[in-house]
């Protein structure tokens, strides 16, 4: 099996078979791009390794249609929910209250489960879904004998905060009672996201550390018109979805304003969720600096990551995977609110010499950002060795590990449930 190509469609489409295995992936997607991009990478990898299967992604992402999926993968978009500035959730578009929106999402998810009848289900991050919306579907899946997998990124949050989030929802009980497997898309030696939760012995034997999810350059498409600075060495600056990335972008721009001798130019990609006001303000400042250019949103960011000489990023899970996959010297400026996920990951990665980390004093309550501090980091960045020189074993084995772990359910030409039914009839 080919495990490295995760984004290339086959030359010829595999013949359709209604009895072939089926996979359902759930992604609640309340903020940013991380969840849908992770689920997309897994889905594309599974159909690359098992071309006869079908995969449906259930997602609340408002930009899911911007992404490219392999043959055999489709998606169902449920009404979007977003986290507001006060930390509460609300509908993204609908003029409904949150309770009615969650009820609608719950009904759609359950109906997809009933109709699609998956053999394998991969739940991204939230064991019972947003506000428990997945519980009715999970009950159906248990009765039907589906294999239910919880997929977790390497870092969720500090243990005490994670426990507070999960203990009222039934998520911790679900680890023991509902899930057959818990895949952690990282390395145990870097971080153990469930460490510190109570009753570890009840689910510890289900945990499998896969390694990080390696990314590939997307398949050829009509040529993109990228800004002129991408024709030579440049720094890619990416805040992920951009909803909370204004700080790092402001700091980078101010560094170029304060120090015009920074050698490499930079391309800043705002992301789809940055506010129109902040984007306009940044674009006006960038227009006055010959070494800076910008883009709004690039769904195939891997193309730019592969082309860049080095990267400045906030350090979300997917961006971290891309930095490792394309072996780019990187400076991570992690956020610390509303959770410490990015800061924990950045500190562990810096300790292993995979990346450099620079903390934002404005986020940490330590004063204003100094443009010359960022300028010094940008001067040093192109001279940094790439992550591969840290020689961390099994670092990027995540996608092949997931494919191998699900081989018993997906490699057969006919669904396991169909085989079991036939065997019962014969006997």
Contact 81, 130 (CB under 8 A): yes
Strands 292-295, 266-269: pairing is parallel
pLDDT at 310 over 90: yes
The CATH number corresponding to 22-214+396-426 among 3.40.50.300, 3.40.1390.10, 3.40.50.2000, 3.40.190.80 equals 3.40.50.2000
pLDDT score, position 11: 46
**Nearest by Cα to 87 from 36, 196, 161:** 161
Q: Specify the pLDDT at position 40.
A: 92
> What are the pLDDT digits (tens) for 5-34?
345 444 466 677 888 999 999 998 766 666
Helix H, strand E, coil C: the string for 327-361 is: CCCEEECCCCCCCCHHHHHHHHHHHCCCCEECCCH
Strand-pairing partners, residue 293, are 267
Range with the poorest average pLDDT among 11-20, 52-61, 119-128, 362-371: 11-20
- Domain boundaries defined on the chain: 22-214+396-426, 228-390
Q: Could you say which architecture CATH assigns to the domain 228-390?
A: 3-Layer(aba) Sandwich (3.40)
Do 52 and 16 form a contact (C-beta atoms < 8 A)? no
Number of alpha helices (DSSP H) and beta strands (DSSP E) in the chain: 15, 15
Residue 100 CA to residue 96 CA, distance in Å, equals: 6
Q: Are 265 and 235 contacting, i.e. CB atoms less than 8 angstroms apart?
A: yes
Is the separation of the CB atoms in 130 and 90 below 8 Å? no
The helix (H) or strand (E) run that includes residue 269 is strand 266-269
Q: Say if residue 330's pLDDT is above 60.
A: yes
Query: Is residue 123's pLDDT more than 90?
Result: yes
In this prediction, residue 1 carries a pLDDT of 35
pLDDT at 382: 96
Do 22-214+396-426 and 228-390 fold alike per CATH? yes
pLDDT in tens, 177-235: 999 999 999 999 999 999 989 888 899 999 999 999 999 887 655 556 788 899 999 99
Instruction: In whole angstroms, give the CA distance from residue 78 to residue 296.
Output: 25
Residue 129: per-residue pLDDT:
95
pLDDT tens-digit map of 222-256:
556 788 899 999 999 998 776 778 899 999 999 99
Pairing of strands 147-153, 120-124: parallel
What pLDDT band is residue 422 in, cutting at 50, 70 and 90? low
- Comparing 66 with 425, which gets the higher pLDDT? 66
Residue 24 pairs in a beta bridge with: 56, 121
pLDDT of residue 149 exceeding 80 = yes
354: pLDDT strictly greater than 80:
yes
pLDDT-based confidence at residue 101 (cuts at 50, 70, 90): very high
Of 32-46, 107-121, 382-396, least confident by mean pLDDT is 32-46
Identify the band that residue 3 occupies on the pLDDT scale cut at 50, 70 and 90.
very low
Q: How far is CA 373 from CA 336, 350, 359, 365, 394, in A?
A: 19, 18, 11, 17, 34
pLDDT of the residue at 224: 66
Residues with Cβ within 8 Å of 362's Cβ and at least 6 positions away in sequence, in order, are 247, 368, 369
């Amino acid at each position: 099996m080919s495990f490295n190509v995760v984004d290339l469609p086959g030359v010829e489409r595999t013949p359709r078979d209604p009895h072939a295995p089926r996979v359902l992936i759930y992604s609640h997607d309340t903020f940013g791009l991380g969840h849908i991009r992770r689920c997309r990478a897994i889905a594309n990898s599974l159909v690359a390794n098992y071309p006869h299967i079908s995969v449906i992604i259930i997602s609340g992402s408002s930009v899911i249609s911007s992404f490219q999926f392999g043959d055999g993968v489709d998606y169902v978009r449920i009404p979007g929910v977003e986290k507001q500035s006060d930390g509460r959730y609300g509908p993204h578009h609908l003029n409904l209250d949150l309770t009615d929106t969650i009820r609608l999402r719950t009904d759609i998810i359950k109906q997809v489960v009933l109709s699609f009848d998956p053999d394998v289900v991969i739940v991204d991050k939230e064991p019972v879904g947003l506000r428990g919306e997945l519980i009715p579907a999970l009950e159906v899946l248990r009765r039907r004998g589906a294999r239910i997998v919880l997929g977790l990124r390497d870092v969720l949050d500090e243990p005490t905060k994670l426990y507070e989030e999960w203990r009222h929802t039934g998520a911790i009980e679900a680890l023991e009672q509902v899930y057959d497997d818990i895949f952690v898309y990282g390395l145990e030696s870097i971080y153990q996201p469930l460490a510190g939760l109570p009753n570890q012995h009840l689910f510890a034997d289900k945990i499998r550390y896969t390694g990080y999810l390696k990314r590939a350059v997307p398949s050829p498409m009509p040529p993109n018109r990228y800004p002129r600075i991408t024709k030579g060495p440049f720094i890619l600056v990416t805040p992920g979805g951009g909803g909370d990335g204004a700080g790092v972008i402001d700091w980078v721009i101010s560094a170029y304003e304060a120090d015009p001798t920074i050698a490499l130019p930079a391309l800043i990609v705002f992301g789809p969720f940055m506010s129109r006001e902040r984007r306009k303000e940044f674009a006006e400042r960038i227009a006055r600096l010959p070494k800076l250019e910008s883009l709004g949103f690039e769904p195939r960011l891997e193309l730019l990551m592969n082309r860049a000489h080095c990267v400045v990023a906030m350090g979300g899970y997917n961006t971290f995977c891309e930095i490792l996959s394309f072996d780019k010297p990187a400076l991570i400026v992690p956020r610390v609110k509303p959770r410490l996920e990015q800061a924990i990951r950045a500190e562990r990665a810096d300790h292993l010499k995979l990346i450099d980390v620079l903390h934002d004093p404005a986020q940490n309550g330590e004063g204003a950002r100094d443009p010359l501090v960022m300028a010094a980091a940008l001067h040093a960045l192109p001279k940094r060795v790439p992550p591969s020189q840290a020689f961390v074993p099994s670092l990027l084995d995540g996608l092949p590990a997931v494919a191998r772990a699900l081989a018993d359910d997906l490699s057969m030409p006919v669904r396991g449930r169909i085989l079991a039914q036939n065997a019962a009839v014969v006997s």
